[in-house]
Amino acid sequence: QVQLVESGGGLVQAGGSLSLSCAASGRTFSDYAMGWFRQAPGKEREFVAVISRSGGRTNYANSVKGRFTSSRDNAKNTVYLQMNSLKPEDTAVYYCAAQAPGAGSFDYWGQGTQVTVSS
């Protein structure tokens, strides 16, 4: 089992920045690829970013590419999502998730943190 706890959400004006953190516990953090997802009201949950176990590779949704950056500190069992140039359409609950080696999906999820971008 992996427990994940997100933090750092809040209210920000369009064009502003927020940094989300996701602290993991329970298993060897560096064994897991980590993902960020979001769900806006009335919409399906969507992929935002993924970072490899070492942090050497990342991938982003087109909607956030060039504005969001994911990083991780395996010594601190934490993954981060730096969000810049925020837009009102970035408003959502943001979730981090962990994917075990060889798993086809993300098996462990945090409780989510609300990000609200005002226009």
Residue 6 confidence (pLDDT) above 90: yes
Among candidates 32, 30, 18, which has minimal Cα distance to 68?
18
Average pLDDT value for residue range 21-30:
92
pLDDT of residue 27: 80
Kindly report the average pLDDT of the chain as a whole number: 96
Residue 102 confidence (pLDDT) above 90: no
Give the whole-number percent of the chain exceeding pLDDT 90. Answer: 92
pLDDT band at 104, cuts 50/70/90? Answer: confident
How big is the chain, counted in residues? 119
Q: Give CA–CA dist 22/51, Å, rounded.
A: 13
